[in-house]
Amino acid sequence: MKGNIIRESEYNHERKHKIIIILVLDFISHLDSQHLSEPFQRMIIIIRQFAPCLLPLLLLLQLSFLYPMTISAAVPTYQMANGDKLPAIGLGTWKSEPNQVKNAVKEAIKLGYRHIDCAAIYGNEKEVGEALAESFAEGVVKREDLWITSKLWNDSHDPAHVIPALKKTLEDLQLDYLDLYLIHWPVSLKHGVVLPNSADDMLPFDIAKTWSGMEAAVDADLTRHIGVSNFSIHKLKVLLKNARIRPEVNQVERHPYLQQKELAEFCKAHNIHITNYSSLGSRDRPANMKPDDEPILMDDSTILNIAKKVGASPAGVLLKWGLAEGASVIPKSVTRKRLQENLEADSAVQLSDEDLKIIRALDRKRRYLDGSFWCLKDSPYTVENLWDEQATSGSAGAEL
């Protein structure tokens, strides 16, 4: 069964540790030390005296200073124009409860995650920063081996506010630079307004002006790459006409119920990588964001049948579909088991061409996060002009 591969690999790795320890101690116990220098003879005597205690102690420590505790799957990467590589499987941090996200990030990094997706509006970048700082200090990972994404919130779209907002994010994350900075939404709010109460809190979105601030952030070496989130084809066309530095990523809701084929084709044609959010249907978002008649993606009979056939979880099938479509995915989890399963989605889940064809037929153009709460009375925004299409309404909430 595919789902057992992880546990079997970890068991074999642990067994190798024990064999190595036993062989080393056995070698020392039978070593003829007469021909060794006096300091080495003393060391051998000491080791022999304490060998009965050393064996269980070393087994307990698992030789963590020599061998990794966990075998992490080989995660595919996508190469940016400058050669930087974006890991295709990342950890999402939206909806992670306070005091959980720090442990989740540290555990994820230990398991092999090298892509962490953040945002100022998530309200937990300080915790993420603590996790990153501790992981660096403990020698678990180096900064240059991680890909860290964050996002510009809607009240800082004025070019004068972009770099200060980014510097606050860097301060919270305890970093000198980001790998990727995104415009979170094509929606502008008055500076200092987190969420609008009325149309008076809202401003028209000026793509070119905001993008000039993003480009200035690249010029200042505060971020290596810039991109957007929740952008339609129309908005990307406008941006591309005005951009000095091209957007390299568009992070959007995408899953079998909302496949966005035309958007994916446009982005591919213009070398804009897509990162999928809500790959699993965002089932854990607050109840007031979900209509009563909402279809549950993870309970779809087609997904369940394919998962059973290939020996995987429904989440594994959904993530593998996203990866097979050429996107990166950023599922959120705070438990070690789910973190490991998500990380193994590419290597442990095998979908045939027929499986992928069946999944592609599930498209309903169904948005779980339709952004409708931006569409206040007399505001510049409607669901139609937000997405530049006649979308099927999903919920009263939006991905923040």
Give me the domains of the chain, ranges plus CATH numbers: 2-61 (no CATH), 77-387 (3.20.20.100)
Of these residues, 122, 181, 368, 381, which one is catalytic?
122
Amino acid at 346: D
The pLDDT value recorded for residue 283 is 72
Residue 353 predicted with pLDDT over 50: yes
Average pLDDT over residues 3-22: 40
78 is an active site residue? no
Element (H, E) at 283: none
Q: Please, are residues 248 and 80 in contact by the beta-carbon 8 Å criterion?
A: yes
Residue 347 predicted with pLDDT over 60: yes
| Angstrom distance (rounded) from CA 307 to CA 355 | 10
Residue 263 predicted with pLDDT over 50: yes
The pLDDT-based confidence of 324 (bands split at 50, 70, 90) is: very high
Q: How is residue 89 annotated by DSSP?
A: B
Residue 139 predicted with pLDDT over 90: yes
The pLDDT value recorded for residue 8 is 31
Residue 2 predicted with pLDDT over 50: no
| Angstrom distance (rounded) from CA 217 to CA 247 | 13
The pLDDT value recorded for residue 47 is 64
Average pLDDT over residues 276-283: 90
Q: Which residue, 19, 388, 390, is CA-closest to 205? A: 388
**Taking the C-alpha atoms of 267, 270, 350 and 90 in order, what is their torsion angle to the nearest 10 degrees?**
-70
Q: Please, are residues 398 and 374 in contact by the beta-carbon 8 Å criterion?
A: yes
The pLDDT-based confidence of 54 (bands split at 50, 70, 90) is: low
Kindly report the average pLDDT of the chain as a whole number: 85
Residue 7 predicted with pLDDT over 60: no
| Angstrom distance (rounded) from CA 275 to CA 285 | 19
Residue 166 predicted with pLDDT over 70: yes
The pLDDT value recorded for residue 44 is 62
First to last CA, the chain: 37
Within 13 Å of residue 293, how many CA atoms lie on the same side as its CB? Answer: 3
pTM beyond cutoff 0.75: yes
The pLDDT-based confidence of 294 (bands split at 50, 70, 90) is: confident
pLDDT in tens, 187-198: 999 999 999 999
The pLDDT value recorded for residue 391 is 40
Of 85-89, 117-121, 389-393, the one with minimum mean pLDDT is 389-393
The pLDDT value recorded for residue 94 is 86
